[in-house]
Structure formats: C-alpha cells, structure tokens
Amino acid sequence: MPTVDFEKYCRMLDNAQSGNYAYPAINVSNVDTANAAIEGFVEAGSDGIVQVSTGGGEHASGNLKDAVLGAISLAEHIQRVANRYDVNIALHTDHCTTEKVETFLKPLIKETERRRTAGHSNLFSSHMYDGSDLPLDENLATAVPLLEMCRDNGIILEVETGIVGGEEDGLNREGIDKEKLYTTPEDMLAVYEALSPIKDARFMLAATFGNVHGVYKPGNVVLTPSILKNGQEAVVAKHGTEARFWLVFHGGSGSSQEEIQETLAYGVIKMNVDTDTQYAFSRPVANHMLTNYEGVLKIDGEVGNKKMYDPRAWLKKGRASMASRVVQACNDLRSAGKSVAL
C-alpha cells in the first residue's frame, strides 16, 4: 500500500486517542535504519510512523548534504518496502525550525503538490514545524499558512509549543530556561484558537512537559505529564470534546513506563523514538567489531576475514537489534497488534 492517505492517517490517530495508545515515530537516516523501523512494526503487528529530520535527510544524500533530496529518497524507499507488508506506515518529517521552513518544509510540500497534480499519492503523510524558538504568537503566525498548505495537499501538520531541551540532530537547547520546558493551558488554548478555524485541516501538538532530548540518568529529567491533562481539560472546557488534541511526546528516552502510560491517558498518540534506536543499532555493531577484531582488520600483513568486514555482516546485526527496540516501543505504547490493516 502507498503512504497512508489523509483519511486513513486521521483514522489511525483517532483510534489511538480513543484506545489510549500511541504510535512510535522512528527517526531514520539511511536504508538500514529505515528497514529496521519497518521490520519492527511488522513484527509487532503495529501501524507506525517513520520520520526523517533535516539532519537525517542531509546524511541520506551523502556529500551533497541536500536535506530535501535525502528525505525524498528515503521516503520513496520506505514507500516501496512498506508496500510489501500488511501494516500502515505513515511518513513524517521531524523538527523543521523556522529558519529551515523555506529550504526544507516548503519544498517537500511542493513535491507532494507536484505528485498530486500528476495523479500520484502523497510522499509524506505529515510534517513538523518547530516554531518553539519564537514567541508563541509569532510561532502560530508562521504555522497558520503552513497548515493551510498542508490542508490543501492532504497532509497533517505537527506544531510545538514550549521547548524540548537537550540536544538532538544538531538542534542544541541545553541549558534552556526550565520554565520554557513546560507548556501552559493558556498556550494550548492559543494553539487551538489559532489553528482550528482553518477548515478541514488537522494538526498534532507537541506540548512540552519537561521533555529533554537524549539519555540521562534517573532524576536528571523531571517530567510533569499532568500538564497535558490540564491543557486538554482547559481546551475541552471552553471548546468541547471535539477540541481534544492529538498530542506528541518528544524527548522520551529514559522515561519510566508509568510516565509513558500516564501520557497516553491524556491524549498522546505519537511518541518520537530516536536516541534509543540509535543505541540499539550501534551496540551490536560495536560488539561485532571488538569480538572480530582480527577478521575485520588486516593485521600484520594478513588478509582478514571478508565475512567479518563485509558491511552487510554487521549492518544486519544492527538492523535486527533496532527492529527489536521498535517492537519494545510498540509494546510500551500499546500499539502492538492493533494495525488497522490487519
């Protein structure tokens, strides 16, 4: 099946919200991590989201460092591979900051427009605009026309209020004022009132509740999931149950199962997973290199062992390990076995 269309994607997210589960959104940067993500969803019997950041797109394009080209190339690969399986894979782009809207987000929306004009399906199902570096009114003023563009092309837009701390993919927000890590009910009301008037558009909100990108020892990150509850209640109290947000959980590495489960009850339908899957991929590769040192390297004039240094040997191990971590994420978020395609 091609990338899930707008209606099916909305149904996936509505099902997750009503069923108190969420989809892992797995960041990928090359063919092997993309395959690992898909294989994990298939093994778990879960629909899922595979996403590409600007840095992931740049990496996928090699020395060209063309984030748009790399994102399109990965998305086309993912579509072709996912088409052979019986789960739904939505394609998403992650964390496009304001300064990259013109060079990354809009060109990808234009690519979808071009494809739709030619009678083809969408390449990406959703995009993220991260305007959290701006005052909220400026953030939303930029988000409104982007949401209109997405609406016109059958795309869901993800926006963010508050700031996810830490560092990911070159986006460094370490040492940020801690107050900015927490979205207020007033922020959530402002988002709804700015974006909901756009007829027939749908959007997700990455509201922050202490989230920090990366991995930290217990106690270093203080999450307050009740912020999501309070915000949802404020919006519903003023605008009715139909105003309840599709919420997104960023910076979840190292979160306890109790914290994750609590956010699901408050409307989280998507949780980004990147740091944990990066480690899952790299760990068996490191083990392969260290335990097969003499085979991987041509030591003291020897010829080494081609079976050990063939990249397929160690990439396969990394891919399998990452796929297992995706299965774990599906189980943690309760999406396992709930594919609408099965």
**Catalytic center residues:** 94
Ordered strands of the 212-213 beta sheet: 171-173, 165-168, 212-213
The rounded distance, in Å, linking the Cα atoms of 127 and 123 is 11
Strands 246-249 and 203-207: parallel
The pair of three-digit structure tokens given for residue 32, joined into one six-digit string: 């092997």
Three-state DSSP at 149 gives helix
Q: Is 157 left (phi over 0), alpha (psi -120 to 50) or beta?
A: beta
If you write DSSP's letter for every residue of 183-215 in order, what string do you get?
Answer: --HHHHHHHHHHHTTSTT--EEEEE-BS-EES-
**Element housing 50 (H / E):** strand 48-52
Strands 268-273 and 246-249: parallel
Strands 165-168 and 171-173: antiparallel
Strands 23-27 and 48-52: parallel
The rounded distance, in Å, linking the Cα atoms of 161 and 90 is 23
> 182: which DSSP letter?
B
Q: What are phi and psi of 119, to 5 degrees?
A: 90, 15
